[in-house]
Amino acid sequence: MAGRVIWQLVAWPLAALLLVRVASRRPRPALLPVIAVAALLVSHALSLLLAPAQGSTWFTVLTAPWFITFAVLCSTYPDGRFVPTWFVWPTAAYTIVTLLDVALGGALREQNWWGPFAMSQLLMLGGQVYRYRLRATTSQRESVRWAVLGILVEVELFLSVMLVEGGTVGEGTAATRLLADLAALPIPVAFAIGLLWPRLVSVDATLRAVLGVTIAGALLAAVYATATTAAAASGVGAVATGWWGAAVVAVLAAPAAHVAARAATWVVYRGRSDP
């Protein structure tokens, strides 16, 4: 309940501020990202307020904007232009499939391929990284930093909930349900701040740290999966396989952290070791 109340208190004022800003201020933020962020805030706030049953028509309608707006934001944020330009095609594909799912009453998301389809949207984050590294102006980079930070924090929060709950999200204890509700806030809030107040605070150091942890975690997860798979294939028992994977991770933790830190610095500071 607390998480849902917090969502209402955050989402509606932010959505209103975005719409007021685009209607009354010059220079105005680009319309497409503003509409996408506002739609994401309002649709999720309504889904928590109305709490429609999973699989119902309202559930399908209120959760659909996520599958469209995330692709739109990764492609067009913050100036409303598709960067790179060919990102218009995957964005159109996500939009068409989502609208078709709504028209079919949510039938498509019951298919086995829907999960990978939805998760594949994370690849669209590459558009923001590309924009930040090669195409964005100095002022646009301030907005993009907020966007990338919000995406990384949200992904890691949801992964943490899944780890604690054993693969589910929001179906465990009251604490994990609260965290699951709040975990959906970082992306829309960060994108909104990037449009409204991109210079609110400097997030370079925080972004570099979060990105470094994310990269290191991904590297070590891949190492663990590879090591345990190889051990299992060689006929080692389940307990020994787990210990072997942990040992390999322990040995490679420091090198992975070093590589991750270098990569994060390269992304955030565009090849420099500091701002």
* Distance (Å, whole) CA 37 – CA 39: 5
Number of domains within the chain: 2
Average pLDDT estimate for 123-132: 82
pLDDT at 97 over 80: yes
Residue 274 lies in a domain: no
Q: Rounded to the nearest 5 degrees, what angle is found at the Cα of 144, between the Cα atoms of 143 and 147?
A: 95
Its pTM stands at 0.80
pLDDT band at 16 (very low <50, low <70, confident <90, very high): very high
pLDDT, tens digit, 9 for 90 and up, residues 233-249: 887 777 778 888 888 88
Q: Which of 199, 233, 252 is the last residue of a domain?
A: 199
* Distance (Å, whole) CA 123 – CA 245: 27
Q: Which of 199, 232, 247 is the last residue of a domain?
A: 199
- Residue 87 neighbours by CB distance under 10 Å: 21
pLDDT band at 271 (very low <50, low <70, confident <90, very high): low
User: 44 and 143: one domain?
Assistant: yes
pLDDT, tens digit, 9 for 90 and up, residues 189-217: 999 999 988 888 878 888 888 888 888 88
Residue 49 lies in a domain: yes
- Quickly list H helices, the chain: 2-24, 31-50, 57-76, 88-103, 114-119, 125-130, 138-165, 174-183, 186-196, 204-233, 238-268
Name the residue range of residue 247's domain.
211-268
Residue 206 lies in a domain: no
User: 238 and 216: one domain?
Assistant: yes
User: 89 and 194: one domain?
Assistant: yes
pLDDT at 133: 75
pLDDT at 117 over 80: yes
Q: Which of 199, 219, 248 is the last residue of a domain?
A: 199
Residue 165 lies in a domain: yes
User: 221 and 195: one domain?
Assistant: no
User: 18 and 150: one domain?
Assistant: yes
User: 141 and 238: one domain?
Assistant: no
**Pick from 34, 38, 12: nearest CA to 22:** 34
Residue 54 lies in a domain: yes
Residue 58 lies in a domain: yes
User: 7 and 61: one domain?
Assistant: yes
pLDDT at 275 over 70: no
The enclosing domain of 94 has a CATH number of: 1.20.1070
User: 163 and 216: one domain?
Assistant: no
